[in-house]
Amino acid sequence: LFPLMPYHSMGEAHRRLMSALPEDSPYKKGIFPGLWAALRELLRGARMAGKAGQNPVQVWRHPETATYAR
């Protein structure tokens, strides 16, 4: 996200982003407590898209097109 930002500044940048962004921002939707939680959500979305007859990659690139989430 910020390749030139020093590592020691990332915590403050994250806190500022979290307080400034709306609840439905893609940044906030991408926050998971760990790798396994993120992978679980990725696989869940792919499975649901497949069951709905949608291309999981298309839904991943454009989540607003997901019919299973409506």
Which pLDDT belongs to residue 2? 66
Tens of pLDDT, residue by residue, the chain (70 residues): 568 889 899 999 999 999 999 998 888 888 899 999 989 988 888 888 877 787 777 776 777 766 665 5
Amino acid at 26: P
Which pLDDT belongs to residue 65? 66
Cα–Cα distance measured from residue 51 to residue 17, given in angstroms and rounded to the nearest whole number:
35
Residue 43, both tokens:
């696989």
Q: Judge if pTM exceeds 0.75.
A: no
Cα–Cα distance measured from residue 49 to residue 40, given in angstroms and rounded to the nearest whole number:
14
Which pLDDT belongs to residue 68? 62
Domain edges within the chain:
1-31, 32-70
